[in-house]
Structure 1
Amino acid sequence: MDILSFDKEAFLEYVNRENHKLEIAPFVDSDYSNPERWDADLHPLYIRELDIVDYDGRDSSFQYYLISNSNFKSRCEYYISLTKDMNLDEINDLIDSSEKDGILNRRKIHEKLYGMKESYRVSFHIIAFEYRCILEAVKLKKFSQKLQSGIINSCHRCLASSYNPNYHNS
């Protein structure tokens, strides 16, 4: 049996280049993707788990886009007042019913936006925004990490779907 030989130097150079792809990707070190460069009042809103990298290896700064929405503050205040006297089970019920019939139901939102340019993407982005605002209310109540983690995961999935380059194939 012959053992295949390969250029070890070239292979190591390739591996090194691939390992550092994220550091050299465009936009990764931008003001948008670096919360230390944000205004001080935006720092508490940053959640590392919501950062995702798009399909081209670029930091798309999804977290920044959500919290820079002009309606973010008022929508957070809405959810804070809505959940003010709720316990954990009631908040879970609110989220479940919103996913079935309300603002977190992508099919319903997509139907309302149908015919609009890129309604698929916009519907996921709207839902991600709502999850992010709900997360602020839940963080204030200091509920379990499990609930917060579930909201973060749902928001993350919506953001990833909203920027999926193959959205038109689904």
Structure 2
Amino acid sequence: MMKIDKDILSFAKVFLAINLCLSFYAIIFQNTTWLLNLQVAFFASLFVTLASFLSYRKNIQNRLENLELNKVSSNERDKIDEIDDPYDLYSEYEEIPEEELTPEKIREIINEEKKKVKQNSFKNTLFSAGGFVSIYRVLGYGFLIFGFFALNNNKLFLPLAFIIGLSIVPLGVLITKFLKK
């Protein structure tokens, strides 16, 4: 957990440094409308990014808590097998003699495998739905849309300043990643 805190702190420092530099630029060389667009977009982008991080972190923690720790029976794979062969490619299966492989039998085998894939993808979708439909993200995007319309309806919207404000967070993440290397 300490590493995450250090990462968040380093991201926050970079975000605030870029935002301060652009704010000083707006105050000195532009006007308050430019500064307002920059700040609305920056905080909306920051809120959406933070909400995404929190919701996916919560999703991962829930998955780890709900992980079923069944006893390994004789026909189940143990943890080492799962690590060495995560897709179960090297398991020994009963080979069906070619004379028994009829087109119907082949279709049945294919359909069974398709069902397994569908079940896993549906299960994955259900477990990850909390990450992309969290209340934090909805509020973050709501703030972004509300800020855009508030600026636009009051004839204060400046597209360049707004786009620059939105790009502070992704640019900050890139800078932080380059600084770590």
Q: What's the TM-score bracket when you normalise by the shorter of the two chains?
A: under 0.3
Asked which structure has the greater RCO (Cα within 8 Å, sep 6+), the reply is 2
When normalised by structure 2's length, the TM-score is: 0.26
When normalised by structure 1's length, the TM-score is: 0.27
More helix by share: 2
